[in-house]
Chain A
Amino acid sequence: MSTPRRKRNPLPAIAQAGPVSLWMILFVTLPMLFIIYISFMTRGTFGGVEYTPTLEAYKTMMDATYFAVILKSLQVAVVTTLVCLLLGYPFAYFIARKPPETASRLIMLLMIPLWTNSLMRLNAWMLLFQTNGPVNKFLLSAGLIHSPITFIYTDGLVLLGLITNFLPFAVLPMYSSIEKLQTAMLEASADLGAKPSVTFRKVTLPLTFPGIFSAIILTFIPALGTYTITDMLGGGKVLYIGNIIKNQFGTIRNWPLGAALSVLLLVITALLIFLYSRFARIEDMEVL
């Protein structure tokens, strides 16, 4: 329709895509570049930074104490992700195989608890697992234990908090990829003589892999970076990477170390996204 030589009016494009582009460059690209830059600078005597390049922050990060925290955070994030996948996949499958109307109701039912304050939900787990709380009382009266177990401020309770917090976000992307799966494919596989277990391994699992990988990204990365869940359920006794980063900008004031740990999280994120892009198109990643 439009002649190729005539220059298009650029105004609508600038008016529509301009604000979002500017926002992303100003508040995402620039801060990200700057935090990488800061991670290679020297710690200021009274907080802040001195602009002399050094690898000090990365060396500190590899110190035994910090390194142990990094390892433990990675471990806990891996366990959280695995449990969320194992619990979430059958659940997502259950919902996706329902008629569409029922399925959307069930998804709604999954979303409603997310509108209650997430910290108060974590606090509720703490109340349930208090030393003289309902869980201990139940175990005692059932004769399973003889003296109350200390659950609060332990890694176990933090793990429970992580799992219950991130499970819905693992279910949603898996649900939408299972839902897209066509029954015809499964029937074809069955008609060709495949046992249900073979169909699952050779058809269902590969076709829903993008959803599974989205679920991994949406659980593993935030689980690795959280400090609120550890703060609420660990009572300051359980420290993960997120807590260490946060502390560098509060009491401890070692900005380059906080920046270096953030860069570590960035690198892990980028690595996972890169892996994802090898298996599926990034544009298809389910984020909602």
Chain B
Amino acid sequence: MAKNRRQQRRRRGKFWSNLYAVLIYGMFYLPVLVMIQFSFNDAKRNYSWEGFTTQWYGKLFSFGNHDLWESLAYSLIIAVLATAISVVIGVLGGLGLKKFEFRGKRFINLMLYVPIVVPEIVLAVAMLIIFMTVGIKLGLGTIVVGHCTFCIPYAVVTIKGRISGDNDTLQEASMDLGANRVQTFWRVTIPSILPGITSAAFLSFTLSIDDVIMSNMLASARQSTLPVLILSVNRTGITPDINALTTIMVAVMLLGLLVLNLIRRALRKREERLEAAERLSVSSGQ
């Protein structure tokens, strides 16, 4: 009897915790669904639902709203540049900060935490003041520098987490077998941290493409990224074609992630097969 009751209570507890999780997930997905819904809204501006239409997707691809595409292109160029720079500096930095001891290392490690914890507006304003005082023109370059400044720390942290303990041994083995430093770097070190590199790249790209504050503060008056455009359009009302564009962007992101996962799985399978074959040949050789 007592056991039965305990089981019942546990089952009831499970029901409530599942319901709770569903509600929380609902809170995260509801705005995404509403955003997608309003890309089909038959109204000039999105205030209330006026009926279903797919015209906005058509209008989007007939390039009626030139500003929108221009700002998307601007965002993409910035994200690609910021990702490339952040990954290169982040990979080198992650390796270097893990392997070498040098004076000031603790300080650099501390500085890497600053962009992660300090409010973005503070960093953006600080950089803006420096750029204005030195006389650097605001625009693409300053936005890329701003984005890199918060992407690099995340890249370094991601890479550091992926460097395993036997990294040094592998490198030594490679050098003992006659490879020079550069060869070792490209053929041993880089492949061993490749998953870290792809996650760092993905993270940098998503941080950059969605950034508003840096992109707003460090931009010239003439050109803005997509999020900054959305922020300014919000005052007069968002047009449904913006919903259509952001819906397409999510779909592309999800597709990209899916492809990345499939590639990873295929690589892992190949590796497993190679290992199995190797084991087989070793055992048959004996």
Name the B residues within 8 Å of A95 (CB-CB): 21
Interface size classification for chain A: 35 or more
Name the A residues within 8 Å of B238 (CB-CB): 120, 123
Q: How far is the CA of A226 from the CA of B212 in the complex (A)?
A: 10
Q: What 1/0 mask marks residues of chain A from 41 to 79 whose CB sits below 8 Å from any chain B CB?
A: 000000010000000000000000000000000000000
Indicate whether A225 sits within 8 Å of B121 (C-beta atoms), given known contacts A94-B20, A232-B234: yes
Name the A residues within 8 Å of B29 (CB-CB): 113
CB distance from A86 to the nearest CB of B (A): 12
| Nearest neighbor of B261 in chain A, beta-carbon distance | A108
Q: What 1/0 mask marks residues of chain B from 119 to 137 whose CB sits below 8 Å from any chain A CB?
A: 1111101111110110000
Indicate whether A17 sits within 8 Å of B20 (C-beta atoms), given known contacts A35-B126, A255-B129: no
Indicate whether A20 sits within 8 Å of B20 (C-beta atoms), given known contacts A124-B31, A124-B32, A269-B117: no
Tell whether, in the assembled complex, residue A119 and residue B102 are in contact, meaning their CB atoms are under 8 Å apart: no
How many A-B residue pairs have C-beta atoms within 8 angstroms? Tell me. 235
Q: What 1/0 mask marks residues of chain A from 257 to 288 whose CB sits below 8 Å from any chain B CB?
A: 01100100110010001000000001101011
Name the B residues within 8 Å of A17 (CB-CB): 92-93, 96-97, 100, 102, 105, 108
Name the B residues within 8 Å of A133 (CB-CB): 48
Tell whether, in the assembled complex, residue B212 and residue A91 are in contact, meaning their CB atoms are under 8 Å apart: no
Chain B residues numbered 78-125 whose CB sits less than 8 Å from any CB in chain A: 88-90, 92-93, 95-97, 99-100, 102, 104-105, 108-109, 111-123, 125
Q: How far is the CA of A114 from the CA of B31 in the complex (A)?
A: 11
Tell whether, in the assembled complex, residue B246 and residue A116 are in contact, meaning their CB atoms are under 8 Å apart: yes
Tell whether, in the assembled complex, residue B108 and residue A24 are in contact, meaning their CB atoms are under 8 Å apart: yes
Tell whether, in the assembled complex, residue A120 and residue B129 are in contact, meaning their CB atoms are under 8 Å apart: no
Say if the beta carbon of A227 comes within 8 Å of chain B.
Answer: yes
Q: Which of B24, B38, B95, B133 contacts A124 (CB 8 A)?
A: B38
> Footprint of A on B, CB under 8 Å?
17, 20-21, 24-25, 27-32, 34-35, 38, 46-48, 88-90, 92-93, 95-97, 99-100, 102, 104-105, 108-109, 111-123, 125-130, 132-133, 145, 148-149, 152, 154, 156-158, 181, 203, 206, 210, 212-213, 216-217, 226-227, 230-231, 234-235, 238, 242-243, 246, 249-250, 253-254
Question: What are 28 residue pairs bridging A and B, where the CB atoms are less than 8 Å apart in the complex?
Answer: A12-B100, A16-B93, A16-B96, A17-B93, A19-B92, A20-B97, A20-B156, A24-B114, A27-B149, A32-B126, A35-B129, A90-B17, A94-B17, A114-B206, A116-B31, A123-B230, A124-B30, A127-B46, A217-B117, A221-B117, A224-B119, A242-B119, A246-B125, A246-B216, A249-B125, A259-B129, A265-B121, A288-B157
